[in-house]
Chain A
Amino acid sequence: MRFAPTAINMKIISAIIFPLLCLFICAFTLPQQSGLKASKDRGKIVYDTYCLACHMQDGGGAPRMNPPLIKTKFVLGDKKKLIGIVMNGLSGVEVEGEDYSNVMAPHNFLTDQQIADVLTYVRNSFGNKASAVTVAEVKAARPKK
């Protein structure tokens, strides 16, 4: 019976383990989550300024003109390709079996941070759920001078 935990022992263990466990979890997840949220918030401002006019408030786009950003493979798929669309623009594209005829201008004047933020926003709004786009990923995709 020497090893049977007493009430006191239990108290000590929980007093030490739980805070440590909390710290451990928080240390790894909180910055990531708040980072995503901050990036999304900044991204929304970029979206409202440069994207909303064509892709609409709800990401629904405009039939046959501007493609939707809701759960399409363009938005949820290859991030490098997606970054490229923002930088280089796009026109006459087929999305989910529908043709969209309007011209999207290159948005290479946006900073790496702005592109990362706006794509993180798009990939985590309108019903989308996908990983964030980082500044490093944008930097890597930008053509070398």
Chain B
Amino acid sequence: MSIFRQSFYCLMACLLTLSACAGDTTKVATNGPVPDPDNGGIKLPAGFGGQIVADKVGRVRHIFVNSNGDLYAKLEKLKDGKGIVRLRDKNGDGKFDETVGFGNFIGTGMAIKNGYLYASSNTEVFRYKLNEKNEVPDGAQPEKIITGLWDHHQHEAKPFTLDNDGNIYVTIGAPSNCCQVQDRVKGSPGQSPCPILDSAGGVWQFKVDKPNQSYAEGVRYATGLRNVMGLDWNTAVNSLYVTQHGRDQLFQFYPEMYSQKEGAENPSEEMFKVKLGSDCGWPYCYYDYTKKQKVLNPEYGGDRTKAGDCGSKEQSIVQFPGHLAPNDLLFYTGDMFPEKYKNGAFIAFHGSWNRAPEPQAGYFVVFVPFGKDGMPSGNWEVFADGFAGADINKATYRPCGLAQGTDGSLYISDDNQGRIWRITYKK
């Protein structure tokens, strides 16, 4: 769209709003949500608009939109003593103007399914029953459905997703970089077998309606996953998809094998389609972004060529450059966006740290088109960008959560400043 046309539409929108307000000053926003003139400071593909719908909400991790349009946000740090925030748009302008906090635990995971709101701390998953008004009642006490999961202060978040058969899939991140005898110590060998995999480094399946489940009641659904932050149940093919944060410090530990730049680009952040029993390879294998193949980690005798039995592991279906930190995954099922987005995947990248002194990267939302077979049908592309601001090494906003609105719009949350954007498309 040309700048002239954009300005024209903007002017028309302003005039319409003005004329609507002129007759009756008590009425507001009768035209519904309108994107911000600058799309909320982010870059989007042509035809899409961005609107800042909430700001300074707190450390917003994952988000979910209820069927009545309320947005629930899970906070990583308590705000005013609360760990969950419900945002409501009372006047229909798209912006949330009512904030209600509840829940006294920090965490990341958030979802609503079949009349319950699910939220996770770093060791537990709780659920709240929604009342007849389709909301969590004041003072409601949650039911603890999962407890006692590992929290060793590294990859401790417990994101989750739910299927349509009464199961919940919870990430248990490995409190380790590459399962070395001494974590992150240069030269320390990899443990084989890696004992962490019994309790972490995978996705566990539990029942949604059984109280106090722990490892004994759960099923290790998929293993060999270092740290999964994004996971979603793709209803189009009834399967679980996950995005993994790959290992760190290849260049720092093995400068004889990787250049500084290769260390910044390796290993790939990967997206897997997993089934019961999938082993995705961590800590033994990684996907070499430069060589485009799954090979042995140097801690396990790898030399960037040896594949060991990495060929027999679950192979990823999309590979991204290293360290970008894919923090949320959402399969788009709405009707607002153009056809190519239907059943495709949006991924929120939190942004890197282990690329220094190369410039950091990530801090964007990516789209991957998917075919009817549940496999990628094209290359990934950056969908929303510009969150970091002027200095990529000092990112202002960091995409962390994604949610689909009732009308098919897309919400993006940031856990640095607590900002939430709503992305819409106008034909």
Contacts and interface: CB of A to CB of B under 8 A. Distances in A.
Interface in A31-82: 48, 52-54, 56-58, 60, 62-63, 65-66
A106 B181 CA distance: 13
A89 B252 CA distance: 16
A92 interface: yes
B185 A53 contact: no
Contacts of A14: none
B353 A62 contact: yes
B357 interface: yes
Q: How big is the B interface, by class? A: 20 to 34
Nearest to A93: B153
Interface string B174-192: 0001000011111000000
B394 interface: yes
A63 B351 CA distance: 11
Contacts of A106: 182, 185
B17 interface: no
A104 B248 CA distance: 13
Given A56-B393, A63-B416, A65-B353, A105 B186 contact: yes
A101 interface: yes
A75 to B, nearest CB: 19
A56 B153 CA distance: 21
Given A53-B249, A53-B252, A91-B154, A105 B185 contact: yes
A56 to B, nearest CB: 5
A102 interface: yes
Interface string B336-355: 00000000000000000110
A102 B182 CA distance: 14
B394 A54 contact: no
B16 interface: no
A60 B398 CA distance: 17
B389 to A, nearest CB: 14
A52 B185 contact: no
A113 to B, nearest CB: 19
B314 interface: no
Scoring A57, A63, A65 by chain B CB atoms within 10 A of each residue's CB, the highest score goes to A63
Contacts of B182: 105-106
Contact of A57 (B155, B357, B398): B357
Contacts of B186: 105
B276 interface: no
B353 A91 contact: no
Contact of A105 (B155, B183, B398, B416): B183
B394 A91 contact: no
B154 A103 contact: yes
Interface of B: 153-156, 177, 182-186, 249, 251-252, 353-354, 356-357, 393-394, 398, 416
Interface of A: 48, 52-54, 56-58, 60, 62-63, 65-66, 91-92, 101-106
16 contacts: A48-B357, A53-B249, A53-B251, A53-B252, A53-B356, A54-B353, A56-B356, A60-B394, A65-B353, A91-B153, A92-B154, A103-B154, A105-B182, A105-B184, A105-B185, A105-B186
Given A63-B398, A105-B182, 10 more contacts: A53-B249, A53-B251, A54-B354, A56-B353, A58-B393, A62-B353, A65-B353, A91-B153, A103-B184, A106-B185
